[in-house]
């Protein structure tokens, strides 16, 4: 499904809407160029989960964890890694929720992942002009929530 994002507020709001329907263990794999809006969308998701700490890009920290919301949010960014470095991170720990409290896993630069979870939401963001973005959201072995499918554009 393609969604037009008129400005940064639209992207944040979409994240908030998306957050309402997320359950523990859900994974969102984000792809798109530098500045396409991946972190902005995750900030909306964080807001929708009720996280009040500022959500900042994990480009340098690799992972930021937020535990104050309805569900924990694990926000990762693989930008600085090569595909062959990713397996050592044992990312499945996050979506299996065995060694960590089950929560939402949002991964930027998911194109760097040599393997994917069994089910996930794929989000591809691309540039329109300075203010606008396009989002292609595709569920893999899961369904898109009614809120996302029926939202007015
Ligand atoms: N419609 C829009 N949605 C999201 N961001 C927008 C939009 N229009 C303009 N922007 C701007 O684009 C930038 C998006 O930055 P953001 O950090 O979210 O991108 P990113 O995809 O996470 O980049 P990176 O690959 O560096 O992590 C911000 O500066 C934001 O203000
Ligand atoms: Mg980012």
Residue from 8, 44, 47 whose mutation best tests the ligand 1 pocket (most atoms within 8 A of CB): 8
What does the block give as tokens for 112? 């760097």
Higher pLDDT, residue 39 or 150: 39
**Which is nearest to 104 in space by CA: 12, 21, 23?**
23
Mean pLDDT on 120-133? 97
Angle CA(22)–CA(85)–CA(42) in degrees, nearest 5? 25
CA of 33 to the centre of ligand 1 (A): 9
Alpha-carbon distance of 57 to 120, in angstroms, equals 21
Whether 111 lines ligand 1, by a CB cut-off of 6 Å, is: no
Q: For the domain that residue 80 is a member of, what is the CATH number?
A: 3.40.50.300
Q: How confident is the model at residue 115 (pLDDT cuts 50, 70, 90)?
A: very high
Ligand 1: atom nearest CA of 11 is 3
Q: In which domain, by residue range, is 87 found?
A: 2-149
Beta bridge partners, 140, equal 120
What's the length of the chain? 153
Q: Considering the chain, what percentage of its residues have pLDDT values greater than 70? A: 99
pLDDT reported for residue 112: 96
pLDDT reported for residue 152: 57
How many domains are contained in the chain? Answer: 1
pTM of the model: 0.97
pLDDT reported for residue 139: 97
Supply the DSSP string of 13-47, one letter for each residue. Answer: HHHHHHHHT--TT-EEEEE-STTSSHHHHHHHHHH
């Amino acid at each position: 499904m393609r969604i037009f994002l008129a400005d940064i507020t639209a992207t944040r709001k979409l994240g908030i809407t998306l957050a309402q329907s997320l359950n523990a263990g859900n994974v969102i794999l984000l792809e798109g160029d530098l500045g396409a809006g991946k972190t902005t969308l995750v900030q909306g998701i964080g807001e929708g989960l009720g996280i009040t700490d500022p959500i900042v890009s994990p480009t340098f920290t690799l992972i930021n964890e937020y535990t104050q919301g309805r569900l924990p949010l694990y926000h990762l960014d693989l930008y600085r890694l090569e595909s062959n470095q990713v397996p050592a991170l044992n990312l499945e720990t996050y979506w299996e929720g065995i060694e960590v409290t089950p929560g939402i896993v949002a991964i930027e630069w998911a194109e760097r992942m040599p393997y994917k979870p069994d089910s996930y939401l794929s989000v591809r963001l691309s540039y329109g002009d300075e203010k606008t973005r396009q989002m292609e959201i595709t569920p893999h072995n899961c369904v898109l929530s009614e809120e996302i499918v029926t939202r007015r554009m």
